[in-house]
Amino acid sequence: MENLKKLPISIQDFEELRRGGYVYVDKTEQIHRLITTGVAWFLSRPRRFGKSLLISTLAAIFRGRRDLFEGLWIESSDYDWPVYPVIHIDMSLATFQTPEELQSELVRQLKESAIEHGVDPGEFNRAAPMLDHLIRRLAEKKGKAVVLVDEYDKPILNYLADVPKALEIRDRLRDFYTILKGQGKNLHFVFLTGVSRFSKVSVFSEMNHLNDITYVRKYGSLVGYTQTELESDFTDHLLATAQQEDIPLSELLEKIRSWYNGYRFHPTAEAVYNPFSCLLYFQNREFKYWWFETGTPAFLMDIIRKSPLPVADLEQKVVSESDFSSFEPDRLDPVPLLQQTGYLTITDYDASSETYTLDYPNREVRNAFLRYLAQTFSGRESGITDDLRRLQGALTDQDPDTFFAILRAIFAGIPYDIQVNRERYYQSLFYLIFRLMGMQIHTEVHTATGRIDATVELDTGIWIFEFKLDGSAQAALDQIRDKKYAAPYATSGKPVYLVGVNFDFDPKKRNVIEWKMDRSQSLKESPVVAPSGSILPHRRFTLLASHVPWKDSHIRAALEDYYRSVGEECARLPLAIVDPGFAGANDPLTLPDIYTALDVVSGPRREEESKADWGLRLASAKDGERTGV
């Protein structure tokens, strides 16, 4: 029988955890740095990430409970364990319907704290003056106090769907937290945690001394598990799980990493694991959406559904820090909400442009979030999984009739009353369906002549989709043809399918009412090789020729990446040297055909100019690579 150390699932009290013999990941070295280098701190992290346990740990330290820290880093440090009166305020316990009820709950918690420390609580019906009174009396009787506030923003988040009430609650809390600034001389330490990061102007307008460590690298792993911590503190659980699953430990670690790691709160900070998901995984030994299933706010889904931002743009989202670092109840943007609540995380940083890249942190969040979004957008609570399986089979079998029949059934569940950008709405749901099928879908694909609404790449072919709203499928299909959206995929070696789709938003239809499909025409390949005797590098390049009159802009865009490397050198060469680059053409008739097409579309040009221009581009093609134009 396995004899494993107990897992601290939902244990938020430090004393209970330590006395109960549960696993504890030692964070006391970072905590020691906090309590010895500053006075007022703020930390924002997603829910169930260990914030409450951190608050409880701080409380135990300031109460002088050295006995609870035996064997931990801080117990053997130079910390001398002074005792301070602790005021612990837990906003997650506040249940209320009105701002007045919130005041009553805060007064109740403060009264309990006063009684704990033997201080007269006084008679108050408002929290701010009572907090001021309590800090003063504690300073007189016991010395400077410590104030720890857990889930400082919970009352606001509870009412984000009701903006006027959320703003009123925010203003009440601002008055409450302002006391912490005014009583600074009587406070030894202040620490506030929460999920959201409201701007200091709105909630902490007077607390200009508050040190925000949300995106500070050295505190990036203050909560959450690092790779080293996972492997060292859960060794027995890892070995037991690997043995049960009959897989190498390295393979198990990689699976856990892909499912639950990936949260990063600074571009160069170490990524951390979601502690809640890890604990539930070790307990049940199943890869499931443990953290996600504990509750995703309905208001968050509603904001995303109504946002003009396409769902596809949430992946690899490039933003400035101000775009995601804070938000306000009356200016709700999905990007900062998703980042602060843990559905997006920092994956990269570009110092030159001072921009961050945000993306889903791991497999759990990506898959569960996309599935939940698909249910929200489609209005279907169940049955979506079977529909996705059938859709995937229809597309793989190149059966568009079945594919669109299933798609119609899904779209029929969209609520009648949506007040959003309707074309974006359909496109987002379309994107979600393909992502959940595990297919490679790209939306708003830029080409030289426009933007493709969506492309889907399968082993059996490439599908190009163009959508129209209250238009016609024929117009959508014509746009794909006229703008030559298939050109970049001509050398893929796969069939390319062109699909025009028309959505009708008439209340009686509200669905895909028409679609038309065609297959892209095949193009003739003609290799051109710069001769070995030329001053130009000996490189291979493949031209595509057809009866279609190619525009100069198409060709230039298609070859852009290929001529950069030697473009400057070739541009300085005489025409007589560049021109031999055409000598190796296997099919010389191809080149005049293309030159003629260019002349027709772009106006008269001298043949020498065309050849020089093409010699430059051909000479720079990389060995063995092919480009479709």
pLDDT digits (tens, 9 = 90+) for 144-182: 999 999 999 999 888 888 889 989 998 889 899 999 989
In a domain, 357, yes or no: no
pLDDT of residue 392: 86
How many folded domains does the chain comprise?
3
Does a structural domain hold residue 257? no
**What is the residue whose two structure tokens read 């790449």?**
457
pLDDT value at residue 158: 85
Q: Among 177, 197, 214, which residue terminates a domain?
A: 214
**In terms of domains, do 502 and 595 share one?**
no
Confidence of residue 438 (pLDDT cuts 50, 70, 90): confident
Residue 487 included in any domain? yes
Statement: residue 486 has pLDDT above 80: yes
CATH number, domain at 140? 3.40.50
Residue 369 has pLDDT above 50, yes or no: yes
Greater pLDDT, 61 or 315: 61
Q: Are residues 423 and 549 in the same domain?
A: no
CA gap 325, 215 in Å, rounded: 9
Residue 415 lies in a domain: yes
- Report which of 12, 140, 141, 16 is spatially closest to residue 68, judged by C-alpha positions: 16
Q: 303 pLDDT exceeds 50?
A: yes
pLDDT (0 to 100) of residue 561:
41
Q: Which pLDDT tens digit goes with each residue over 101-122?
A: 999 999 999 999 999 999 999 8
d(C-alpha 435, C-alpha 7), whole Å: 34
Same domain, 484 and 543: no
pLDDT number for residue 569:
41
Which range, 82-86, 313-317, 364-368, has the best average confidence (pLDDT)? 82-86
Average pLDDT, the chain: 80
313 pLDDT above the threshold of 70? yes
Cα 564 to Cα 86: distance, rounded to the nearest angstrom: 65
Residue that finishes a domain, picked among 472, 489, 519: 519
Q: What is the DSSP string of 40-99?
A: EEEEE--TTSSHHHHHHHHHHHHTT-GGGGTTSGGGGSS-------EEEEEGGG---SSH
Q: What's the Cα-to-Cα distance from 247 to each of 5, 252, 287, rounded to whole Å?
A: 22, 7, 15
**What confidence tier does 588 reach under pLDDT thresholds 50, 70, 90?**
very low
Q: Select from 485, 519, 553 the last residue of a domain.
A: 519
Residue carrying structure tokens 């059934």 = 409
Report the pLDDT value the prediction gives residue 418, as an integer from 0 to 100. Answer: 54
Q: What is the mean pLDDT of residues 8-23?
A: 97
Tokens representing 253 are 């670690």
* Residue 412 belongs to a domain: yes
Under DSSP, the state recorded for 526 is E
Given a cut of 60, whether residue 595 has pLDDT beyond it is no
Q: What is the pLDDT of residue 455?
A: 92
DSSP alpha helix (H) spans, 360-472: 363-378, 384-396, 400-411, 422-436
CA distance 248 to 232: 17
The residue that leads in pLDDT, 480 or 626, is 480
Structural domain span for residue 173: 14-214
pLDDT at 54: 98
Tell me which amino acid residue 615 is.
G
Tell whether 433 and 556 lie within a shared domain: no
Q: What is the pLDDT of residue 605?
A: 37
Residue 593 pLDDT exceeds 90: no
Residues 27 and 135 in one domain: yes
Angstrom distance (rounded) from CA 272 to CA 344:
13
Verify that 494 and 529 share a domain, yes or no: no
**Is the same domain home to 69 and 204?**
yes
Identify the weakest region by mean pLDDT among 462-471, 501-510, 604-613. 604-613
Distance CA 424, CA 409 (A): 19
* pLDDT exceeds cutoff 80 at 235: yes
User: Where on the phi/psi map is residue 81: left (φ > 0), alpha (ψ -120 to 50), or beta?
Assistant: left
Q: What does the alpha-carbon distance between residue 110 and residue 433 come to, in Å, rounded to a whole number?
A: 50
Q: In Å, how far are 160, 264, 542 from 333, measured between CA atoms?
A: 12, 21, 47
Going by pLDDT thresholds of 50, 70 and 90, the confidence category of residue 490 is confident
pLDDT band at residue 511 under the 50/70/90 scheme = low
Residues 143 and 89 in one domain: yes
Specify whether 45 is located in the same domain as 160: yes
Instruction: Answer yes or no: is 405 within a domain.
Output: yes
Does residue 203 sit in the same domain as residue 89?
yes
Residue 270, pLDDT above cutoff 90: yes
Alpha carbon 180 to chain centroid distance? 34
Separation of alpha carbons 299 and 295, rounded Å: 12
Calculate Rg over the CA atoms of the chain: 31
Do 419 and 551 sit in the same domain of this protein? no
Same domain, 511 and 570: no
The CATH number of whichever domain residue 399 belongs to comes to 3.40.1350
- At residue 521, the pLDDT reads 54
Alpha-carbon dihedral of residues 73, 75, 81, 84, nearest 10 degrees? Answer: 60
Could you read off the pLDDT of 282-294 as tens digits, one per residue? 999 999 999 998 8
Residue 459 lies in a domain: yes
428 belongs to a structural domain: yes
